Amino acid sequence: MYKRCRNEAIVVADVGQNQIWAALWWNYDRPGLFLNSGGSGTMGFALPAAIGAKFARPELDVWCVAGEGGFVMTAQELSVAVEHQLDVKIVLLNNFSLGMVRQFQDDFYGGVRSESDLKHMPDFVKLADAYGLPAIRVDKFADIGPAMDAAQRTKGPFLIDFRIDPEANVYPIVPLGKSLNDFWEAPDQ
């Protein structure tokens, strides 16, 4: 995705798998372009922070990368983006779960899952439409490039609801209570 963005795009990530994927796969040429809540675990951080980044740096592209769990916590801020026609592009990585919680439950708690399933979320394309901003749902790899291009061509806010595999995991990760020296690589399949 980052190949379609200018080198100086600000990327604001929420907490969870989306944050790790953004850190791993977005291209950052300079410091200060990747914003996240650090280790605070602040679900819902990305959208309001992306809006603030756009107000602060209107000349730069701003991309919000969030999972659906965190996104719904501050989705009402779409009204601010629409009211001010802020050119914030939202990449929603939608795996119908609290992905990092589910992954930790699988990796460190023997696969015992509790309260990580998000099957009953809103239709985010309809939600975006209700706020008056364009949105696209992407569930095929071939549609990723055209969706990103459509977002960049569109003036103002734009949401892309990427449907991803609910069982997809992100590695490397740091187990709870461990240091960066103790990170886990992908386990053998």
Residue 176 resides in a domain:
no
pLDDT of residue 162: 92
Spatial neighbors of 21 by CB under 8 A, at least 6 apart, are: 65, 93, 170
Alpha-carbon gap, residue 75 to 11, rounded angstroms: 18
Closest C-alpha to 36, from 18, 55, 20, 13: 13
pLDDT of residue 142: 95
Residue 184 resides in a domain:
no
pLDDT of residue 106: 77
Transcribe 162-183 into DSSP letters. EE--TT---SSB--TT--GGGP
Tens of pLDDT, residue by residue, the chain (189 residues): 556 666 688 999 888 777 776 777 777 777 888 888 876 778 889 999 999 999 999 999 999 999 888 898 899 999 999 999 999 999 999 988 776 777 767 777 777 777 767 788 899 999 999 999 999 999 999 999 999 999 999 999 999 999 998 888 877 777 778 888 888 777 764
Transcribe 109-154 into DSSP letters. STT---S-B--S---HHHHHHHHT--EEEE-SGGGHHHHHHHHHHS
Residue 185 resides in a domain:
no
Q: 43 is in which domain, residue-wise?
A: 2-165
pLDDT of residue 19: 77
Instruction: Please state, as a whole number, how many other Cβ atoms lie within 10 Å of the Cβ of residue 119.
Output: 7
Residue 77 resides in a domain:
yes
Residue 183 resides in a domain:
no
Residue 180 resides in a domain:
no
Number of folded domains that form the chain: 1
Helix (H) or strand (E) holding 100: helix 99-108
CATH of the domain at 147: 3.40.50.970
> Residue 115 has which token pair?
């309260």
Residue 187 resides in a domain:
no
Alpha-carbon gap, residue 16 to 94, rounded angstroms: 12
Residue 69 resides in a domain:
yes
Q: Contact at 8 Å (CB) between 61 and 50?
A: no
pLDDT of residue 21: 67
Q: Contact at 8 Å (CB) between 114 and 181?
A: no
